[in-house]
Amino acid sequence: MNFGDIFKTTFLDGYQASDITTTYVVFTLAITCIISLYVFMIYRLTSKKVFYSLNFNISLVATSLITATIIFTIQSSIVISLGMVGALSIVRFRTAIKDPMDLVYLFWAIAIGIICGAGLAQFAVLLSILLTVVIVLLSRIKDFAHPQILVINADTFDVENTILDFIKSNLKKYKIKSRTVNQNSYNIVIECSVHEANSIVTDLYKIEGVYSVSLVSHDGEVTY
């Protein structure tokens, strides 16, 4: 017996998954589909986006099923698994995921596919329950401050002192982000947290020389 024979019998043959039957595959994919549909429902209920993406949510279910199928393929043969690694290494995704929670749900779907494909569906159920509790509880925690951008346009730079005096007396925390001065206009952008938006905007508009006031919410980082 040479080295090649030992390598074949102990390494390659040891990875042959002869116990994977069609019934087992169908049953596992059905369990994967049920758990991923649960993720689909949780994403739909907890999504805070104005423009809810149904296509992304559907892709979560499809990702779990595809991942589980890949795990089955990898278990069938070590040679196929090595080829699968090489094939998947050339895949590149150009679509950027801007919301971190979307990335969490994507990894959640992939994890379900991997765990169920490995025959450990009970761990996928436990993971889904735990993640649901964590997401729901943490999403109910209110932010200490609601970041907003206050944009004030005036006729001249001379009105800045009046505007800043009003801001200091009515807002506890604020930060001047930019100033723009032109020949016939003056613009100031302030990051702040406003509780009574209507009164603040109305009172600023009443200042002589101010001709427009805008208050916009944004999703940037908040400095506490």
Residue 51: HSE in the Cβ half-sphere, 13 Å Cα cutoff: 2
Rounded to whole angstroms, the Cα distance separating 132 from 138 reads 10
Q: Which pLDDT score, from 0 to 100, does residue 219 have?
A: 58
C-beta separation of 45 from 21 below 8 A: no
Per-position DSSP letters for 34-93, written without gaps between them: HHHHHHHHHHHHH---SS--HHHHHHHHHHHHHHHHHHHHHHH-HHHHHHHHHHHTT---
For 53-82, the pLDDT digits (tens) are 888 899 999 999 998 988 887 776 666 666
* SS3 sequence of 152-212: EEECCHHHHHHHHHHHHHHCCCEEEEEEEECCCCEEEEEEECCCCHHHHHHHHHCCCCEEE
Give the pLDDT score at 6. 46
pLDDT one-digit tens code per residue, 183-201: 788 888 888 877 777 788 8
148-217 CATH pick, 3.40.50.10860, 3.50.30.10, 1.10.10.10, 3.30.70.1150? 3.30.70.1150
Residue 81: predicted pLDDT: 62
Q: Which residues of the chain have pLDDT under 50?
A: 3, 6-7, 11, 221-224
pTM: 0.64
**What does residue 145 show for φ and ψ, rounded to 5 degrees?**
-145, 145
Residue range(s) occupied by CATH 3.30.70.1150 in the chain: 148-217
